[in-house]
């Protein structure tokens, strides 16, 4: 006859021993797994993990940024010292986060890798007349987008990965191909979202948030690659220009469209190096420059210069509140950021020569200072978080910086540049610019903005 568990002391004793053994075994497993998880967290590989083996990420890390001191008084003019280049920035994808550099090659179209890509939405011709033809009503056109309409573009990070010769040698490989990794925050619904949060924090630290990565080749693809990847050539409008560019819609995840809040179809366009936009208006003519000035997906001119003294002076006149503590120069999307010039002095420059200074370079770089930069509302967006201020600095720009008779209703801050090249270079028009180069002003004069 079977005895109950409660009346069998031997069974209870054995059960207690089993519990103790299970507990001891569990603690032993945890003691082994915790260090393993901390050192080798069980997370999925990212696209950048593969590139680490053969490429190096371009740019200056935040702790080494040359803009950490941008709000200090040290950027005022220094007696007996010329202005200098304080920092450089490129924006491979228009209106997304930029990349700070210490040096960069420049071409007729601007800094290398700058504004090669732009996001665009497919817009319908609305409104249309009641008696418009069916073709007119159904016609759709691609149009570029910026932070002016979609401020969350400021949170889209772009990493530039360049081939590293030493790493490639170790892998017994050869490559000249560069890549972009476009990253944006995204948390899925349900358990997938919970898992992605845990995975992100294990991989990149407690403050990390889940992201989606998109890998894009930088070089313009061959005809075979275009066909294989399903790319097409389409017209895209940027301001009043319409240019034929490479439509890479297949590379854009729908999550990005939803994250940005774009209701239309969203695509990524790559500028065609054989179909760059010609620059006229205030730029030097082809006869003056020795070549026809061109640009990619920049707003209007190849390069944009900002003077830290000017930003500081203007910022001192802008009302501050809880949403706007200071004006980061990166709100204005510059390529060349200078230090040591008087506030607004750059508006008198017509031609400048950048000399090696402490940059480590050996050649000068010459630029035509083409015109003032007429500002839109984009600087209202904080580049650190994508928050759009309701009023500033746009209101103060219009009130205090309407200084150009060619744009009487707009505020101006910064200058547009066009590269000039030594005629001895022939068709090989290229040069270098770097932090530490000094600025020699070769020509001064008045500026008058010419509208597009």
| pLDDT confidence of residue 210 | 84
| Locus of tokens 């009043």 | 240
Residue-level length of the chain: 452
| pLDDT confidence of residue 1 | 47
Q: How far apart are CA 217 and CA 227, in angstroms?
A: 15
| pLDDT confidence of residue 301 | 97
| pLDDT confidence of residue 334 | 98
| Locus of tokens 């910026």 | 146
| pLDDT confidence of residue 24 | 65
Q: What is the dihedral of CA 211, 217, 220, 226, to 10 degrees?
A: -90
Q: How far apart are CA 336 and CA 329, in angstroms?
A: 11
| pLDDT confidence of residue 5 | 46
| pLDDT confidence of residue 130 | 64
| pLDDT confidence of residue 12 | 46
| pLDDT confidence of residue 191 | 74
What pairs with residue 324 in β-bridges?
Answer: 321
| pLDDT confidence of residue 26 | 66
H helix or E strand, kind and range, residue 185 = strand 179-185
| pLDDT confidence of residue 323 | 93
Range list of H helices, 55-152 = 134-138
Q: What is the DSSP letter of 276?
A: P
Q: How far apart are CA 44 and CA 424, in angstroms?
A: 52
pLDDT digit of tens for each residue in the chain (452 aa)? 454 444 555 554 554 556 666 666 666 665 655 554 455 455 556 777 888 889 999 999 888 999 999 999 999 999 999 999 999 999 999 999 999 999 999 999 999 999 999 999 999 866 656 666 666 555 789 999 999 999 999 999 999 999 999 988 888 888 889 999 999 998 877 777 676 677 666 666 777 688 999 999 999 999 999 999 999 999 999 999 999 999 999 999 999 999 999 999 999 999 999 999 999 999 999 999 999 999 999 999 999 999 999 999 999 999 999 999 999 999 999 999 999 999 999 999 999 999 999 999 999 999 999 999 999 999 999 999 999 999 999 999 999 999 999 999 999 999 999 999 987 777 789 999 999 999 999 999 999 999 98
What pairs with residue 299 in β-bridges?
Answer: none
Q: How far apart are CA 51 and CA 178, in angstroms?
A: 10
| pLDDT confidence of residue 144 | 98
> Nearest 5 degrees, angle CA 170-CA 171-CA 177?
110
């Amino acid at each position: 006859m079977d005895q109950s568990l409660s009346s069998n002391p031997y069974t209870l004793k054995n059960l207690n021993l089993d519990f103790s053994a299970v507990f001891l075994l569990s603690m032993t497993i945890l003691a082994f797994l915790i260090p393993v998880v901390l050192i080798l967290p069980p997370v999925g590989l990212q696209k950048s993990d593969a590139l680490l083996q053969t490429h190096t990420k371009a740019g200056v890390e935040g702790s080494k940024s040359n803009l950490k001191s941008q709000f200090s008084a040290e950027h005022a003019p220094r007696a007996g010292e010329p202005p200098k280049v304080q920092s450089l920035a490129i924006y491979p994808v228009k209106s997304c986060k930029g990349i700070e550099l210490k040096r960069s090659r420049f071409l007729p179209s601007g800094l290398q890798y700058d504004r090669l890509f732009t996001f665009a939405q497919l817009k319908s011709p609305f409104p249309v007349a009641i008696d418009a033809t069916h073709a007119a009503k159904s016609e759709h056109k691609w149009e570029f987008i910026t932070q002016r309409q979609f401020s969350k573009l400021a949170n889209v990070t772009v990493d530039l990965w360049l081939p590293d010769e030493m790493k490639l040698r170790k892998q017994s490989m050869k490559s000249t191909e560069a890549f972009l990794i476009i990253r944006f925050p995204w948390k899925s619904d349900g358990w997938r979202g919970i898992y992605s949060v845990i995975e992100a924090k294990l991989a990149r630290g407690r403050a990390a948030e889940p992201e989606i990565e998109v890998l894009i080749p930088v070089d313009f693809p061959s005809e075979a690659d275009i066909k294989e990847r399903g790319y097409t050539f389409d017209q895209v409008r940027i301001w009043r220009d319409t240019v034929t560019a490479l439509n890479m819609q297949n590379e854009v995840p729908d999550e990005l469209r939803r994250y940005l809040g774009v209701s239309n179809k969203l695509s990524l366009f790559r500028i065609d190096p054989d179909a760059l936009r010609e620059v006229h208006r205030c730029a030097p003519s082809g006869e003056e420059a020795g070549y026809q000035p061109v640009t990619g997906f920049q707003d209007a001119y190849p390069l944009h210069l900002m003077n830290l003294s000017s930003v500081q002076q203007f910022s001192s006149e802008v009302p501050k509140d809880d949403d706007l503590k200071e004006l980061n120069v990166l709100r204005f999307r510059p390529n060349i950021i200078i230090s040591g010039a008087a506030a607004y002095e750059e508006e008198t420059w017509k031609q400048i020569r950048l000399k090696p200074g402490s940059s480590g370079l050996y050649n000068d770089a010459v630029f035509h200072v083409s015109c003032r930069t007429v500002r839109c509302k984009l600087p209202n967006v904080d580049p650190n978080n994508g928050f759009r201020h309701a009023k500033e600095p746009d209101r103060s720009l219009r009130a205090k910086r309407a200084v150009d008779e060619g744009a009487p209703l707009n505020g101006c801050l910064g200058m547009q540049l066009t590269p000039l090249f030594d005629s001895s270079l022939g068709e090989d028009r290229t040069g270098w610019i770097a932090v530490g180069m000094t600025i020699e002003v070769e020509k001064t004069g008045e500026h008058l903005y010419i509208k597009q």
